[in-house]
Amino acid sequence: MKRLMIILMTASISMSLIPQAYAGGDTANGKKVYEEECSDCHSVTAGKNKKGPSFFGVVGRKSATIADFNYSDAMRAKNIAWSPEAINDYIKAPKKSVPGGKMKYDGLDDEKSRTDVIAYIATLH
């Protein structure tokens, strides 16, 4: 019961970090967008880092803080918390958001797709 309470509290705190615009995203479509656009390089499994770090628990996490992932110097210098807005800015234009970063992704232009994928990522706790 104690473990369940911790999980529920963690989930509710995480969800409270999501602004309404992202909380209203379509998580089912967001999962599809993740699989199409992100899954080659990012796992949703906790502790599984591929070319990019795991998406598990990324919403609310401080940037460049997964201990065994080799971030770029540019990402280490970013020093932000991955709020939904910060993630939105980053995946819209990664090279503009973090010049000198390692992510080679050109960016996700479609606003609804960004909203949905952030809503999906926010469920990963």
54: left (phi over 0), alpha (psi -120 to 50) or beta: beta
Nearer residue to other proteins within complex by CB, 85 or 110:
110
Task: Give CA–CA dist 13/7, Å, rounded.
Answer: 10
The yes or no reply on residue 116 touching other proteins (CB under 8 A) is no
Nearer residue to other proteins within complex by CB, 50 or 62:
50
Q: Angle, nearest 10°, between helix axes 111-121 and 84-92? A: 130
Ranges within 41-60 binding other proteins (CB under 8 A):
41, 43, 45, 48-51
| CB 30, CB 118: distance < 8 Å | yes
Task: Give CA–CA dist 58/18, Å, rounded.
Answer: 12
Nearer residue to other proteins within complex by CB, 14 or 92:
92
Contact pick of 24, 40, 62, 77 for other proteins (by CB under 8 A): 40
Q: What is the SS3 assignment for 68-102?
A: CCCCCHHHHHHCCECCHHHHHHHHHCHHHHCCCCC
Q: Looking at 11-19, 20-28, 64-72, 84-92, which segment touches other proteins (CB under 8 A)?
A: 64-72
Nearer residue to other proteins within complex by CB, 39 or 123:
39
**Using CB under 8 A as the criterion, which residues of the chain lie in contact with other proteins when the complex forms?**
32, 35-37, 39-41, 43, 45, 48-51, 68-70, 104, 106
